[in-house]
Chain A
Amino acid sequence: MNTEPNYAIKKVNLICAKGAIEDVYATLVMGNGAVMEGIETNIFFTFFGLDAIIKTRMDKLHTGVVGNPALRLPGGMRMASLLGIIPGMEAFTSWMMKSQMADLDIPPVSEFMDLITAGGGKIYACKLAMDMFKFKQEDLSEHVSGILTIGEFYAHAGGEGSQIIFT
């Protein structure tokens, strides 16, 4: 008989606290990837990450161009942080990011959430951040299953083979 313990990941609980395109996509790719593997998935959006589940903002996220030392221009040259203050630079960079992702068949945020919830993944909003930014239930996209306190989040996250991942 095989007595090796099974350490397979059975459940992932992702926390997204930032609202730049790349932060939100990191969470969504990991969440959707887990759903595709048949892993139970909860995604918790808090602080600036809430923008990803606010109906009017979710498909209009931007990428930060100031203070991002890994940001490069087309061709591979590093972009000096101060260039980021040029009007339109953030919009241009965000457009570039989105078109590069579209080339790889990465969907817009709302469609990504359609895929995750279609596979049974659950999406939650943080109560404290909702109160702080004065958001209401009706501001949230229909993908959101509920507004949780941190205690409720931990209760949802429990179980054998469960992982909490802060992206």
Chain B
Amino acid sequence: MAQKTYAGITVDVNEEGYFTNPAQWTKEIAVEIAKEEGLVLTGQHFAIMDFLRNKFIGGEALSIRSINHSGVLDVKTFYQLFPGAPLKKATKIAGIPKPVSCI
């Protein structure tokens, strides 16, 4: 298993850089990963990442559709916050595995 060091903490990641142990994640780490992705995190980023982490920890599948039911923001804003591939980027920065959903 690969390891990476963010904000002075060594974490376990897979070959694509996704966390294999979400418990190792902190907000300081998120800021560092976001920098690698060229993003500066705001309160909105953290709010939706909390939603994604809670869903993941609750064992629910993550989909782009679920963002609209987050009560935090809508899908359009999600695409603006994490340009390109938002669900992949957001889960990577949120320290949870890459979603396996097709929708």
Residues of A within 8 A of B (CB): 29, 32-33, 36-38, 104-107, 111, 114-115, 118-120
- B103 CB contact (under 8 Å) in A38, A106, A118, A120: A106
Question: Which residues of B47-103 have CB atoms within 8 Å of chain A's CB atoms?
Answer: 61, 63-66, 68, 74-76, 79, 83-88, 101-103
Lowest 10 A-B CB distances belong to which pairs? A38-B84, A118-B76, A118-B75, A38-B85, A119-B79, A37-B85, A105-B63, A107-B65, A115-B75, A36-B64
Known: A29-B102, A36-B87. A118 touches B74 (CB 8 A): yes
Q: List 17 A-B contacts (CB under 8 A).
A: A29-B102, A32-B64, A32-B103, A36-B87, A36-B88, A37-B85, A37-B88, A38-B83, A38-B85, A105-B61, A107-B65, A115-B75, A118-B75, A118-B76, A119-B64, A119-B79, A120-B79
What's the minimum C-beta distance from A75 to chain B, rounded to whole angstroms?
26
Query: A133–B61 Cα gap in the complex (Å)?
Result: 41
B68 neighbours in A (Cβ, 8 Å): 115
A29 in contact with B85 (CB, 8 Å): no
Known: A38-B84, A115-B64. A33 touches B103 (CB 8 A): yes
- How many A-B contacts are there with CB distance less than 8 Å? 42
Query: A156–B85 Cα gap in the complex (Å)?
Result: 22
Known: A118-B74, A118-B75. A105 touches B102 (CB 8 A): no
A119 neighbours in B (Cβ, 8 Å): 64, 75-76, 79, 86
Query: A27–B90 Cα gap in the complex (Å)?
Result: 26
Query: A118–B76 Cα gap in the complex (Å)?
Result: 5
Given A36-B88, A38-B83, A119-B64; 18 other pairs, CB 8 A cutoff: A29-B102, A29-B103, A32-B64, A32-B103, A33-B103, A36-B86, A36-B87, A105-B63, A105-B65, A107-B65, A107-B103, A115-B65, A118-B76, A118-B79, A119-B75, A119-B76, A119-B86, A120-B79
A114 neighbours in B (Cβ, 8 Å): 75
What's the minimum C-beta distance from A101 to chain B, rounded to whole angstroms?
10
- B66 CB contact (under 8 Å) in A105, A118, A120: A105
